[in-house]
Amino acid sequence: MIETEVAARPKIRRAYLMTAAAILVLGGLAVRTEFFSYVSGDYRAFVSLWYQFIKDNGHFRALKYNFSNYNQPYLYLLAILSYLPVPMMAGIKSISILFDLVLAFFTYRIVALRHPNTWWPLLAGAIVLYLPTVVLNSAAWGQVDSAYSAFGLGGVYFVLRKRPWLACVFFGLAFAFKLQAVFFFPALLLFVLRKKIPWQGLLLIPGVYLLLEVPALLAGANVGDLIKVYVTQSGTYDQLTLNAPNIYQYLGSGTTSSVLQIVGIMVTGLILVALMAPVVVYRSELTPARIVLVAAISVTLVPYFLPGMHERYFYPADALSVIAAFYLPRRLWAFPILEQFASLGAYAPYLLNSRQGGAGGFPGGRFPGGARGGLPGGFPGGTNQSGATEPPGVVDPGRLLQRNSDTGQPFGQGGQGGQGGQQLRPPGGGGFGGTTSGTVVVDFWILSTAMLAGLVLALWAAIQDFRRGGTA
């Protein structure tokens, strides 16, 4: 009888764990539905139009047209969604929420490697699932940063599990979804240099990327358009920071400088080399805690020092800061608090100042470029800037991403079709005034300093761990 009770204990505990996980997931979904009615500017001006174009032009067959500046995997999901009898906005946000769950799952699995047979992994997964930035990114904003972040965490997880080839597949999936997966690449490079991943495994990353382009090619997409999609993305904005709580906020709001952009890229590279060199030269072992620290530092440091970053680009740091705190709680308990404070604060100017109403979210129903109501120029049934209707397939994604010709700013900064319109990317604060767009004022000096403090804390913890031989 006693032996039977003892044997049954793990099953009972597993049942408790599954029940608690189910309750947390259902609660997380319920919280997100509260934001489903929020219509962000990005949703109105980009994703909803992409979905409508796909639906109106043969679903998957629409992928032969060049109508989006996102890579194909996300467009495949929109194409699948276009077949389903679900409301457009709820469906689009549900795609992102699905990846929220994947993100929380890999958080759970990574922490479980450190704290097996405890409740800590479930707590870590729950914290990530309920993080304000994670909830708002998918359920309110309608963005899909959870996709590349979830696959990036999957890559870290399989590095920890000593399955390097599968890790590279996941890093390839992350890169295929969004260019911002490169924030993981400094960590990936160090994993290769310290022989946690064979260099041949890196070939899987472009391999996965190219493999996922095949369905679009079969639909008739132009090879050149598929290859240069990330080049198009990287040249969209010229501000040094777009609400990102990073070092460029100290230079002031809306600062632009091609020279500083080049310098910023070079400085970021030099910092990464300086941090990785001692690890490589002294052949330091990458313990599980160090692997997590390296990944967390990588996805925090890169967007902090690179120019042209958006507020959302700290999304993977939102999750990895929590994981790092569970790996080294005594040293890093404040890391996720500082990081989330800065990341969430940076969301505020866009989400709270974003206006709803009017076609495409622009007061008066006016789209950038002067098209009014319906679809913007370049979409079937829309009009180009000369007022002529364009046939299906004649789509210029640059028109969706164009800066106003008068001011050089993204949508709604005056000029044709933009006067009185909302600003889709209000500049960050800097200085003493914070942002001046809309009614919400945020001092980005404070947010940038908080993010820097979190980064320094993580770096300090990593240095201490390497000095002590990874015994923590």
Task: Give residue-wise pLDDT tens across range 15-42.
Answer: 899 999 999 999 999 999 999 999 998 9
User: What is the structure's pLDDT at 470?
Assistant: 53
Residue 162 reports pLDDT greater than 90 = yes
pLDDT, average across residues 363-371: 30
pLDDT of residue 410: 34
Q: If you average pLDDT over each of 65-74, 358-367, 437-446, which comes out highest?
A: 65-74
Instruction: State the pLDDT at residue 240.
Output: 92
Strand partners, 366: 372
- CA 44 – CA 72 distance, rounded (Å): 20
Q: Comparing 124 with 396, which gets the higher pLDDT? A: 124
Q: CA-CA-CA-CA torsion for 187, 193, 194, 195, nearest 10 degrees?
A: 110
What average pLDDT does the segment 146-174 reach? 98
Residue 366 has pLDDT above 70, yes or no: no
**pLDDT, mean over the chain:** 83
Average pLDDT over residues 151-163: 98
For residue 233, what pLDDT is reported?
A: 77
Indicate whether 3 pLDDT > 80: no
357 pLDDT higher than 50 = no
Above 60 in pLDDT, residue 392? no
423-464 pLDDT, tens digit each:
334 433 333 334 434 566 789 999 999 999 999 999 999 999
- The confidence score (pLDDT) of residue 416 equals 31
Report which of 260, 326, 317, 269 is spatially closest to residue 294, judged by C-alpha positions: 317
Amino acid identity for residue 461 in this structure? A
The CA-atom distances, in angstroms, between 244 and each of 141, 257, 392 are 16, 16, 37
Lowest mean pLDDT among 56-70, 229-243, 268-282, 337-351: 229-243
Q: Looking at the predicted structure, is the pLDDT value of residue 150 above 80?
A: yes
Phi/psi at 242 (5° precision): -120, 75
> Does residue 86 have a pLDDT over 60?
yes
Is residue 158 scored above 70 in pLDDT?
yes
Q: Is the pLDDT of residue 379 over 80?
A: no
CA distance 90 to 204: 34
Mean pLDDT for the stretch of residues 464-469: 84
Identify the pLDDT of residue 97: 98
Whether residue 240 contacts residue 307, with contact meaning beta carbons closer than 8 Å, is answered with yes
The more confidently predicted of residues 373 and 296 is 296
**Please, is 99 exposed, middle or buried when counting C-beta atoms within 10 Å of its C-beta (0-12, 13-18, 19+)?**
buried
pLDDT at 253: 65
Alpha carbons within 13 angstroms on the beta-carbon side of residue 182 total: 11
Considering 397-406, 438-447, 463-472, the range whose residues carry the highest mean pLDDT is 438-447
- Phi then psi for 413, rounded to 5 degrees? -110, 30
